[in-house]
Amino acid sequence: MIKKYIRIAFAIIAFPLIFAGCEVFGLDLQEPYDYDYEAGTYDNHINMTVWEFVQTRQDLFPIMKEAIEYAEMQNMYNEPAATYLLLADKAFNSTTSTDLSYFQTHKLYERPGDETSLYAPISMTQYPKEQVKEFLLYHIVKGAHTWSNLPAEPKWFDSYASADTAKVNMYLIKDRNPNIVFNNFNGHYKPEIKPRTSNLLSTSGAYIHVVESWIDRPTKDILK
């Protein structure tokens, strides 16, 4: 009887730890990785290009897919040895004040100069094409970066966007629930942006981290 209670207690304790592990290693609990029994690890290969992944996950990326097509950047989502920060719809269209979504923080004028005519767009196609292109390029980092090679201290990495401030800060945060953190610097519109799913590996060798917040560029002073 005592052994039975011990087994039950162990199961109760282990269950949340297993689920926490899934979150730590970027596993989507609704669509888990395949388990590689020979290697004894979860397989994070998505067996498709990044662009194909965006197209197949229209539950997550319809706004981003439209933005990529609008900017005519489909080929950029097949790059080898790159890191893609894919934005779920929430990053664009959340109306929650604490989320500070892109549409809410980049409102447009229905009538130029009239403050009363400001409105939040519903599509990235309402912005100039060059603005959308630079926005998307900034969310693609040069080099394949993930859990196994990111530092434990903040480090700047070059993105594919233009300008000398087009750098992204990434590192593994030291926490009871460690995770990758993006642009966690003083002055960024939101601190400690973490992926909802990370460490997905495409057929080109690029890594994917899915985030629910957009990433803003640093200023020149921050980079000094």
Task: Categorize the per-residue pLDDT at 216 as very low, low, confident or very high, splitting at 50, 70 and 90.
Answer: very high
Q: Mean pLDDT throughout 93-113?
A: 95
Instruction: Encode pLDDT of 141-181 as tens digits.
Output: 999 999 999 999 999 999 999 999 999 999 998 878 789 99
Q: What is the dihedral of CA 160, 166, 172, 173, to 10 degrees?
A: -150
Q: Mean pLDDT throughout 188-209?
A: 96
> By C-alpha distance, which of 66, 208, 70, 211 is closest to 140?
208
The residues, ordered by sequence, that sit 6+ positions from 135 with a Cβ below 8 Å of its Cβ are 67, 102, 124, 214
Instruction: Assess contact for 24 and 179: CB atoms under 8 A.
Output: yes
Quote the Cα angle for 86-130-108, to 5°: 85
- Which domains are assigned to the chain? 36-94+125-223 (2.30.180.10)
> By C-alpha distance, which of 144, 142, 141, 135 is closest to 199?
144
| pLDDT value at 38 more than 50 | no
Higher per-residue confidence, 22 vs 194: 194
Higher per-residue confidence, 35 vs 110: 110
For residue 175, the model assigns a pLDDT of: 78
Instruction: Encode pLDDT of 135-145 as tens digits.
Output: 999 999 999 99
The residues, ordered by sequence, that sit 6+ positions from 25 with a Cβ below 8 Å of its Cβ are 42, 44, 147, 198, 199
Q: Mean pLDDT throughout 50-64?
A: 97
The proportion of the chain whose per-residue pLDDT surpasses 70, expressed as a percent, equals: 82
Q: Mean pLDDT throughout 128-135?
A: 98
